[in-house]
Amino acid sequence: MVDDEVATRAPESDAFAQKPAGEAAQSVFPGDTIAQEGPTMGEHCTTDRPTPSGQIPTGEISKLGGVDVYITKPADYPHSPSKLLLLLTGGTGLKSTNNQLQADKYASEGFLVVMPDQFDGDPAPNSVDMSEVENSPSWLEWAKLKAAEGAKSFLIDMWLARHTPEKVLPILQKVVEGAKEEFADAVANGGGIYGVGYCFGAKYILTLAGEHPEYVSSGQAAPTDEEQGATKNAPLIRAGAVAHGTMVTKEDLEAVKAPVYIACVENDPLFPEEEVLTPGRRALEKNGVEHEIQTFSGVPHGFAVLGDYDEPKIKQAQTQAFGQMLDWIQSH
């Protein structure tokens, strides 16, 4: 879906969390480097769009490995075989109705979906109601928005500092181990676990699709130097599909070993092409990793997360991205 004439930021555009002018951007992920100064997470990573009218989640919140998870199953499970899908969300997290509905959509296509609370009860701050701002054109309201953006930027930076790989990966490992035990039939039927990730969650699907360092349950990273006994784990998922990742580095893509589909937004400062996507694509090709990368134009970062939009082009892109992500995991 390429349209060079349409700017990437649509009418429902992102209000990016910006770093103060002149301040060097630093990743909150140890060992990672931010490709450029600028936004760390976008509004669509941390704020839900309106929920589609009349839709109600059909799954339930339970626990796996001691972690809260939203579980949704195909209507005919366990009488018909299913495959296990791990769904990782953006900053809105486990209790977002839109995220639960998105999990239900994959369940309706035959996947037993496990969506963990990767933030341990601490979803991203949600301090700006974009619907109110978009309906108020006055310069005073615009000034209020700018002030709110600055406050939210600080809150998001603090939030990101609380949710690093050392904290998130042990949570995901507990869920994976719990799912292998609780839903062994679905794991066996699919020959492993599949994964889809959006925004924040996309980074972790890519991590689970790659060779990654060992993280112990205490939240401390294992040695990174091979001479000190560091080891790299094989991928924890069979195949993955991600959309508009945030905080992704070229090193994440260089480590990927499992087949991956990546949906990107054209000219996305949260997933910059020159610093991250292009070298990552080259690494996937060099390493012989099966992959597909689709770039969408004329849509905001976060467009693929389920939610209602007034703009037909965004609705179309959302449907297209879901179909492509679904096709990828169904065919691997």
Cβ neighbors of 297 (< 8 A, separation 6 or more) are 1, 2, 3, 4, 6, 8, 265, 266
Write the DSSP assignment of 3-24 as a string of letters. Answer: -TTS-SS-TT-----PPPTTPP
When pLDDT is cut at 50, 70 and 90, the band that residue 25 belongs to is: very low
Nearest-angstrom CA–CA distance, 163 and 172: 12
32, pLDDT greater than 50: no
Span between the terminal Cα atoms of the chain, in Å: 23
In the prediction, which pLDDT does 46 show? 73
d(CA 171, CA 224): 20
More confident residue, 102 or 137: 102
pLDDT value at 289 more than 90: yes
Is residue 252 predicted with pLDDT exceeding 60? yes
> Phi and psi of 34, rounded to 5°?
-80, 135
Is the model's pLDDT at 26 over the cut of 70? Answer: no
Task: Compare 316 and 140 and report the one with higher pLDDT.
Answer: 316
Q: Look at residue 6 and tell me whether its pLDDT is greater than 90.
A: no
Whether pLDDT at 10 is above 90: no
- Mean pLDDT value across residues 267-289: 95
Q: Give the per-residue pLDDT at 20.
A: 36
211 confidence band (pLDDT: 50, 70, 90): confident
For residue 62 the two structure tokens come to: 């339970």
pLDDT at 295: 96
Place 319 in a pLDDT band, splitting at 50, 70 and 90: very high
Decide if pLDDT at 167 tops 50: yes
Residue 166 has pLDDT above 60, yes or no: yes
* Region 98-127 average pLDDT: 92
**pLDDT band with cut points at 50, 70 and 90 for residue 125:** confident
In the predicted model, what is the mean pLDDT of residues 208-221?
Answer: 61
**CATH T-level assignment (fold) for domain 43-330:** Rossmann fold (3.40.50)
* Domain boundaries of the chain, sorted by first residue: 43-330
Q: Which percentage of the chain shows pLDDT scores above 70?
A: 72
What pLDDT does residue 158 have? 85
Residue 21 is predicted with a pLDDT of 34
Which secondary-structure segment (H or E) carries 313? helix 312-330
With 50 as the cut, is the pLDDT of residue 136 above it?
Answer: no
Sign of CA dihedral 305, 292, 200, 296: negative
Asked if residue 68 has pLDDT above 80, the reply is yes
Average pLDDT for the chain: 80
Pick the range with the lowest mean pLDDT from 157-171, 212-226, 243-257, 305-319: 212-226
Top pLDDT among 97 and 140 is at: 97
Backbone angles phi, psi at 52, to 5 degrees: -55, 135
Q: Closest Cα partner for 296 from 318, 325, 323?
A: 318
Residue type (1 letter), 261: Y
pLDDT band at residue 258 using 50, 70 and 90 as cut-offs: very high
Among the ranges given (46-55, 191-200, 219-228, 311-320), the one the predictor scored with the smallest mean pLDDT: 219-228
